[in-house]
A and B are shown apart, each in its own frame.
Chain A
Amino acid sequence: MKNLLCYGDSNTHGQIPGGQSTERFGPDDRWPGVLARKLGSSWHVIEEGLSGRTTVRNDPVEGKHKNGRRYLTPCLQSHAPLDLIILMLGTNDLKRRFWLTASEVAMGISCLVHDIKELAPGPAGRVPEILIVSPPPMLNDLKEWSAIFEGAQKTSRELAMAYEIMADSLEVHFFDASSVCVSAPEDGFHMDLQAHHLLGEALAQEIVNIGWINDN
């Protein structure tokens, strides 16, 4: 049995585009659920998606608990041993209040990778496989979120390249979500049902491609 942690934000939580913040897709329709079904019974998939989660920033509005780095270590220790950790974050770092460039957001991701490597929560205390996923870029019309994300659309399109460069230099796996799905028009930055399914299926293939030695 292999353990996989999906560490992300509202798009991992399964928040419905344009819906209330309490509205969420069902477990089978969220990408970690799609992924779990595709991978089959030899994988245990752990969902860890928190709406508003950033990579490493304390959010002065939403609270310090949204800082992805703050919760990462206890989360890893709770679920260790982990064979694979998927990090899909960065969208919330693009809020106007943080005013960051794409490479600064990627730098935040790199902090999380360094934390994981330092803790080494893999089997037998090894460093687990790490897969960085760049979120699908925002659409131009962000509806009522426009002010909060003012000017973020352009940066969101630069995330994939910045993440890939970071993944290369850290020697970790990388996947560009925009290669298979887009943000939904309802609010311009959340994923709809179809996007969750497409991403879950693509990530399942990506995980298989990593190549795993059968240890049973």
Chain B
Amino acid sequence: MPDMRFSPPNPLRIADRTSGLNAVRVRSHNERLVLSMLLRNGNISRLKIGESSGLSAQTVSVIVRSLEKEGLIVSGSAQKGRVGPPTIPLSLNAEGAYSIGISIGIRKTHVVLINFLGEITAHSQFSHEFPGNDIVHPDIFVAVEELLSKLSVKKRERVAGIGLALADTFRESEALNVLRELLEKEFSLEVFIQTDITSAASGESMFGKAKNLENYLFFYIGAQIHSRLVLNHQILRSATSATYDGGTLELEKRLGSDNLSINELEQLTEQESQHSKDLQEWTEQCSALIREKLRDASQFVDVEALLLSSYIPNTMLQNISTALVLPETGPEVVVSELTKAPKAVGAASLPFAGRFML
């Protein structure tokens, strides 16, 4: 019988490092586990990683060395502990990976470039006359090229992929296939497709205030109101629609406008105006709907928090949160801090989730 102990070792992991990020390799579960832990908590030691993951010190050592050489994580300077010798904290390397996120809306398309920590390093947007779902806008390619050109050649190689967020109702279509193929061909990047609401929840779970929330209800206030249930960090979507009237379309109807810009929304909140009453009523209506959906969900699951996300000004979102008035025993209400293009940032989180995280 051959002694397996003395057969040559598998050089895959090490030999791969020289070829950069784009090498197609299945990342091991344990590597994803360590990266996910570092995403949720920066500045933790190898000891802490071992304790929380249950991996042995030697396994952690091998993984950390590999990720460090790949440039995905960095070690900080030694921290003097209260007892014992100083320890070296580890974090994700902000410049270790980049991602492009595209969110195609009804009137507008947002394109963002984010770094490994989810920070927007470049942002571009354009309006379109027709809903973005059914046709391929050439402006998308211009925008992606523009954002990628902001990266040096070396950093360009560290782009993990393109995330594409589409309206909840999107279906496989010829236009979508063309768009995906053209993006992949033009930029030599893998394209990840998801609904925009699930994308926004993903961005929130990876980079936002939901980082450390295992179970929560996610609400996105857009033209309409949408919801998702997140259990054990997994974003669930039911087969039936989780979209309700009462979003900004409703507000526009109340105010007699057909397209409220961000500036107009901001002005609404800033001053006492003839619309204050309408705005107040709309806020009440939003929170009533969210309360109702929370009550429905609570019959089946116990969520620790309720997260509100939107593109509307943060004060408006805060007002909806305040109007919710949940019982003390109810879940915590969290207002998102990802206010700039949350769907596009969420789209950009998809390649990271697919390639690096659990």
Contact = CB atoms under 8 A, between A and B. Distances in A.
B61 A210 contact: yes
Contact of B88 (A130, A167, A172, A205): A205
Interface string A164-193: 111111111110000000000000000000
A36 B45 CA distance: 22
Given A39-B85, A171-B59, A205 B14 contact: no
B9 A114 contact: no
A214 B83 contact: yes
A36 B246 CA distance: 69
A211 B47 contact: yes
Task: Name A's interface SS.
Answer: helix
B58 interface: yes
Interface in B37-89: 45-48, 50-51, 56-62, 65-66, 75, 78, 83-88
A107 B6 contact: yes
A134 to B, nearest CB: 13
A211 B9 contact: no
Contact of B56 (A167, A168, A171): A171
A165 B15 CA distance: 8
B327 to A, nearest CB: 42
B19 interface: no
B169 interface: no
B47 A164 contact: no
Interface string A28-41: 00000000000110
B310 to A, nearest CB: 42
B123 to A, nearest CB: 38
Contact of B62 (A167, A208, A213): A167
B244 to A, nearest CB: 49
A173 B8 contact: no
A197 B302 CA distance: 58
Contacts of A209: 45-46, 61, 75, 87-88
A172 B6 CA distance: 16
A129 B61 CA distance: 11
Interface residues of A, number: 31
Given A111-B6, A114-B5, A169-B9, A211 B59 contact: no
A211 B61 CA distance: 10
Interface in A137-170: 161, 164-170
A110 B5 contact: yes
A165 B9 contact: yes
B11 interface: yes
Nearest to B78: A205
Contact of B87 (A166, A208, A213, A214): A208
Nearest to A103: B8
A173 B65 CA distance: 9
B13 interface: yes
A132 B14 CA distance: 16
A168 B50 contact: no
B241 interface: no
A52 to B, nearest CB: 24
B10 interface: yes
A42 B46 CA distance: 20
A211 B66 contact: no
A171 B5 contact: no
A164 to B, nearest CB: 6
A213 B58 contact: no
Given A39-B85, A114-B5, A165 B61 contact: no
Give the 10 A-B residue pairs with the shortest CB-CB distance, closest first.
A211-B47, A169-B9, A173-B61, A211-B46, A165-B11, A208-B85, A171-B58, A165-B14, A168-B62, A172-B58
Given A164-B14, A165-B9, A173-B62, 10 more contacts: A107-B6, A130-B58, A161-B14, A174-B62, A208-B85, A210-B47, A210-B57, A210-B61, A211-B47, A211-B57
27 contacts: A110-B5, A110-B9, A111-B6, A114-B5, A130-B58, A165-B9, A165-B11, A168-B9, A168-B13, A168-B66, A171-B56, A172-B58, A172-B62, A173-B62, A174-B61, A174-B62, A208-B86, A208-B87, A209-B45, A210-B46, A210-B47, A210-B61, A211-B45, A211-B57, A211-B60, A211-B87, A212-B47
